[in-house]
Structure 1
Amino acid sequence: MTGSITSIRQARNTHEAEGDQSSHALPYALAATTLEHAETHIRFQDIGKTYSGEQGPVRALHGIDLVVRKGEIFGIIGRSGAGKSSLLRTINRLEQPSEGQVLIDGEDIGRYGTSELVALRRRIGMIFQHFNLLSAKTVRQNVELPLKVAGVPRQERQQKVASLLKLVGLENKHDAYPAQLSGGQKQRVGIARALVHDPDILLCDEATSALDPETTQAILALLRDINRSLGLTIVLITHEMEVIREICDRVVVLECGAIVEQGPVWRVFGDPHHDVTRTLLSPLQQTLSDDLKAHLLTQPLRQNDALLLELRLNGTNSREPDLGLLFSALGGQLTLVKSAIQRLQGRTVGHLLVSIRHSPHAQEELIKRARRIFDDVEVLGYVAAD
């Protein structure tokens, strides 16, 4: 990464050599265990939010009970209007809950007066979907502005800005204007600006939604590196499950202002319980191609037609998709139609599609044998012989 992160890592490696190990430096299974026992950073207690509308009150949030742990990357996902932005903005009190409490480090921030609120917001950085940069100011001036408003001396401001621009990989763009930057570069400026007060919480409001897939990956890698190197707690909202998969430790799914599902990313992806979660995941888990759907039979027409099975791994066991064992167990002519297996947080999740012809076993026996190797098995139909 950049020189700034490298220097932070070198310092951290020194601490680790002395026995002070960060969970992010450990293998995932151990790091996840460490996060499970990390202290609570943000707590939502029975949060509700109601807005006034022309047709009467609009309930945006209700009954939100949630804990975000110190040092984790926590995702909030849901469809448009689910309440994601309303919930995120209660953390820095850009939104005041109608009911309940938001506690940060055990303190009820709803009781804060003006000076305490100013101090709180300096501890919480925020980056936005559309960057929110001032077009008439240079990159340096955009990043420097919060420090200038806070009365930080000029030399200290300049040093801080130089360090942050190096951190986000824009050390050669100090004097560029936003119009001269790509979308990814603009978001890097936004990230640098969000870090000027050395926050311990970083809020990301659809931070990658306006970016192309390649740039999205680069920004997510930067956020992950910042989280691991600086120990920030990151809370992000998105409607993109790909973002949750790439970066988050845990995720909560909102629908109509309420929590419908939450848990570690591997569990939510591997075994989604709610229809909304399954709908959000469906673009990532397309099982059948249109061509295959069009030719799929509900019953075999000829002896040669192949049985089509979906075999799933949900991450709850330490199983791996052992194809050799599968071929031996099912017998006959086995064809791998599609594989969508991935490793998430040290666990194997996903599915395989296989077709079987001329097996010596009846269908019930085939399913029974497949379930010894996979967590779930579903008959999708039959594929006509060529």
Structure 2
Amino acid sequence: MTRKVSIALDAMGGDIGPAVVIPGAAIALERHPDALFVIHGHEAECLPLLDKYPALKAVTTFHHADVAVKMDDKPSVALRQGRWKSSMWRALEAVKKGEADVAVSAGNTGALMAMAKFCLRTMAQVDRPAIAAIWPTLRGESIVLDVGATIGADARHLVDLAIMGSAMARVVFGIEKPSVGLLNVGVEEIKGVEEVKTAGRMLREGGFPHLAYEGFVEGDDIGKGTVDVVVTEGFAGNIALKTAEGTAKQLAAYLRAAMSRTLMAKIGYLFAKGAFDALRDKMDPRKVNGGVFLGLEGIVIKSHGGADATGFATAIDIAYDMVRHDLMAKIRDSLEASFRGPNPDVAAAGPETLP
């Protein structure tokens, strides 16, 4: 019999907190009846809500937490004041202690990353963790990382991102050898900053058995779905993510305005309603909510702070899948295989040692 998946939740995270987290968990439980929950939050706010969902309450262990990390707290302040007491820290600690398989929070991203690094530590072969996002594309979906965990990256870190992103793609998409591209200002090998060009040489020459390096990709290739995994550093990745979110909202506003401008437009909308509903469903950010922290000794999922219950349930879905399909083992396997490949010297090299 397959063992159950235990999911730790930071109930106080996000713009709304328990009023989203607990109903979201109830939705996720309907989809994953073999899930167990370990919820950390303020009992006065959480327990009355939990009483409304008997099925969820039956599979939940609840722990009171005195402190809730604020969305505008600086990471250093949150780490200093919220360690050992906050719902965010205790959800992460549940993973560290083996009480849960994965932690999910909609809280302050910087604080969550700082606490996760301090509590769980990074994997031995990874210098810095990353946040990976599932990105809707014309082909279906791709994985983009890093979308904001750390600013700047040397060539070795970009290679680590490619390895970890390909491991996640194996879990999410079921592809044995995902295609990987490095985000750049052009596809020609002479273009781009030195770190990106060096990372390209390392990926091309290093012999990485669990990924297929396709070369450089440009910004418009993300939406096209040119590759399964797009690799960039956190500054550019976060800008790309926020630009895509803003563009989707802009297009939705344009469509609403155009469809209500004239009587003929309204009639046309009625005839095309099915197509517009399909477009709205495709662009629904709730269906791709949940960034995966990669490179830690444990799995952490970051939900959008403004997500509703449906969106938070999607983040839990991702958490469930990462555990059920053994993301950690796949990352470790990919990292180890990369140093056993046909050219391990190149795989392990830093940019200063490459020609």
- Normalised TM-score (structure 1): 0.25
Higher share of residues assigned helix: 2
Structure with max Cα Rg: 1
- Please state which structure has a larger fraction of its residues in strand: 1
